[in-house]
Amino acid sequence: MSPLDISVTASDTDTVVTVSGEIDLAVSDSLRRSLEEELRFTPAALIADLSKVTFCDSSGFTAFVQIRAKAEEAGVPFILVTQERALLRPMSLLGLDAVFNVHPTLDSARDSLTH
């Protein structure tokens, strides 16, 4: 398993948490805490860029569901960015594609915020 790399870029219009590697039980709590920390700043939008994530298990999806709920409570749009079949397929099978706002690119996610 490759280690998870998390970086944050904040601006007036959004906060992007870029994640690369594999999301599993060993790292999902760390990822959730990173996203929660950014939510504390109440960004205009919270975008999880998962375009470099190659695997995500149920603990990762659980973390995203928890963050989505907290973001909704805070009135902060929460968007996932990915085109990876390794994420889209399980999301579809679990019905999470109806729960999450998913975009194929960061530009598309940002565009959705202005429309």
Give the chain's domains with CATH numbers: 5-87+95-113 (3.30.750.24)
8-state DSSP, 14? -
Q: 3-state DSSP call for residue 9?
A: strand
Element (H, E) at 27: helix 25-39
State the Cα–Cα distance between residues 61 and 28, nearest whole angstrom: 9
Tokens of 72: 């909704």
Q: What DSSP line would sit under 37-105, residue for residue? A: HHHTT--S-EEEEEEEEEEE-HHHHHHHHHHHHHHHHHT--EEEE---HHHHHHHHHHTGGGTSEEESS
Rg of the chain over all Cα atoms, to the nearest angstrom: 13
pLDDT at 3 over 80: no
pLDDT in tens, 21-52: 999 999 999 999 999 999 999 999 999 999 99
The arithmetic mean of pLDDT across residues 78-86, rounded, is 96
The arithmetic mean of pLDDT across residues 77-90, rounded, is 96
